[in-house]
A and B are shown apart, each in its own frame.
Chain A
Amino acid sequence: SQKIEQNSEALNIQEGKTATLTCNYTNYSPAYLQWYRQDPGRGPVFLLLIRENEKEKRKERLKVTFDTTLKQSLFHITASQPADSATYLCALGRYSGGGADGLTFGKGTHLIIQP
């Protein structure tokens, strides 16, 4: 069965350092991968999308890599700040043309940036 694993339930990082979160998947051939941020009591918020033919995407302090051979994505937050503390969800999608197939989510990594 399809499985998405995110590296740990909680990750503690010191402010200013780079936080690296891992997303591994099995029995899946995604057309794209997305990362979302979820704060307590809120819905997930989209951060980045990377397609199967892309190796890396950047947005401000965020960077995502996608290795379809390793079946892994890494999500980096550089110069981390306490405000980056949240749960980060990895999500996979099958069809690059959009549509209503929805996304398959991992359980998320709870990131804590300590001052």
Chain B
Amino acid sequence: EVQLVESGGGLVQPGRSMKLSCAASGFTFSNYGMAWVRQAPTKGLEWVATISYDGSSTYYRDSVKGRFTISRDNAKSTLYLQMNSLRSEDTATYYCTGRAPDWGQGVMVTVSS
């Protein structure tokens, strides 16, 4: 059974940092590009960042470029999202996904003082 389990969310003050993790199992993680998608409360889905299967290529939405870093550890089958200089508008549930059917349960990030 494929599982994607996110962790690391919570409440953080504006300007601070937070790192999300996504532990994958049930498929060959190192074969697939992965992504983070977020959803602000009562809003639609919004792509955040993508990383290639080997980590050599990364892509970010404009609003997080220079603040967020997507990375992966294929030996640990884990995806990461390092979020720096957090803003209130980053408040959302963050999902990791790779293959089209596979989504994590989501982790909530609240940026507030």
| Chain A partners chain B | no
- Enumerate chain A interface residues (CB-CB to B < 8 A): none
